[in-house]
Amino acid sequence: MLQIGPVQLASNLLLAPIAGHTDIAFRIVCREQGGVGCAYTDLLNSHAILRETTRTLDLARTNEFDQPAGMQLYGNSDDPLPEAACWAVDHGARIVDINMGCPVDKVAKKNGGSLLLRDCGNTTLLAKRIVDTVARHSGGRVPVTAKMRLGWDPEHKVAPILARQLADVGIAAVTVHGRYTVQFFSGTADWNAIGEVVEAVPSIPIIGNGDVSQPEHARDMIRTTGCAGVMIARAALRTPWLFRRAHALLTTGSVAPEPTLVDKLAVVLRHLDLTRQYDGEHRAAIRMRQHIAWYGKSMGHVKPLKEAIRLAKDFASIRLAIEAAQSAFAGSDAVYSDSGRPVAEALLRTGFEDFAKIACIDAGPE
C-alpha cells in the first residue's frame, strides 16, 4: 500500500501519464489486470482544461471504474494552474500532479515540464499556490504531487533540493524519473540518483520511475533507492499485466505467471472494445492500429496479426482478426508465438488471404 496525503492506495505501483496513450480505455485495461494503485491521465494543458476543449475533456475523462484517478497538469507560473487543479478536483481527480519533467517541445517550449527545473525558487512558489488553492477547494481531501527529472543536465542535478523545497510547501509526494532532460529517453535511468532524493526528503513518499519493464525491476528499484513506490510508463503499453505480476512479487515474494498468448489476445480485444465504448468504432480502429505494435512486442511471432490489424478497413475487421488469432491458439498454454503459421492459417479461414501470406512461414523471432 501507499499513502499519499489523505489518499490510501491499495498498491504502490502507479501507471504513469503517457502522452497519446493513457486514455480512459487503456487505464481501465491496466486496472482490470490488477496491481495498479493509481492511474494517471494524459498530460493536461491548464488553459485547455478551463476552456473545456473537446480533446482535453476526452483526455481528462474518468469514472467509477477508473479510481483512484490522478490528473497531471502542465504549465508555468503565468498559466492558470491553480484554477485548472480545482477543475480537476471537480471532475474526479483524487490526486492532482504537476508535470515538472516532460522534455518534449510541446510542453517545455511553453515553459512547463522540464523547464520548471531551471528555476527552483519560482517553481516552489508555483507549487505552493497550487497546494494552497487545492487544499481550500477540496477541503484537504485531494493531495497535490509533482513528477520531475533529476535536472536539466548532469551539471544541474536539482531533484534532491527541489523535492525538499516542494515537501516544505505541502507537496504530498514526488515522482522522480532517473534521467536528465537532455537525455530524453536515451541511456539508462540512474536509480542511485533517485536514492539521493529519497535520502534528502524523508518526510513524503518518493516514487521511482525509469527502466522498469519486468516485475523484478520494480523490486530492485525499491531495494536500490528506498523509494516508497514505482511508477511504470512505456513498459505498460506492451504489458499492462506487468502491475499484477510485480505486485505479486512485492507482496508474496513470487512473480505472478506470465499470461498465455490466448490471455494476452483477450486483453487486446478488451482494449479494443473499451475504446469503442468510450470513443466509438472509428477511433477504436485507429487506436488499435497504432497500439498493436506495442502489444506485439510481448507475443513473439505474430506479424500476420499485426499486419491484419494495421491494414484492416474498419473496426469489425480488426475484431475478426483478433478473434481468429484467439482461435489459432485456443487450448494452448504458450506465452509467445514462435511461428506466424497458426495465425496466418486462422486468418486465411476468415478471409484475410493477403495478410495470411505476410512473413508467416519462417518460425524465427521477429
Q: Residue-wise over 12-24: b if at least 16 C-beta within 10 A, else e?
A: bbbbbbbeebbbb
- In angstroms, what CA-CA distances link 293 with 150, 303, 319? 30, 9, 16
How far apart, in whole angstroms, are the C-alpha atoms of residue 134 and residue 157? Answer: 29
Nearest to 69 by CA among 91, 49, 95: 95
- In angstroms, what CA-CA distances link 314 with 185, 257, 276, 302? 34, 34, 12, 20
Contact present, 303 and 340 (Cβ < 8 Å): yes
Contact present, 95 and 38 (Cβ < 8 Å): yes
Contact present, 130 and 98 (Cβ < 8 Å): yes
Nearest to 50 by CA among 22, 67, 73, 30: 73
Copy the grid coordinates of residue 312. Answer: 484492416
- Cell 482535453 sits at which residue? 56
How far apart, in whole angstroms, are the C-alpha atoms of residue 304 and residue 343? Answer: 7
Catalytic: 102?
Answer: yes
- Which residues sit opposite 285 in a β-bridge? none
How far apart, in whole angstroms, are the C-alpha atoms of residue 124 and residue 68? Answer: 26
Pick the catalytic residue from 38, 102, 227, 360. Answer: 102
How far apart, in whole angstroms, are the C-alpha atoms of residue 98 and residue 282? Answer: 32
Nearest to 98 by CA among 118, 126, 120: 126
How far apart, in whole angstroms, are the C-alpha atoms of residue 150 and residue 194? Answer: 8
Active site residues: 102
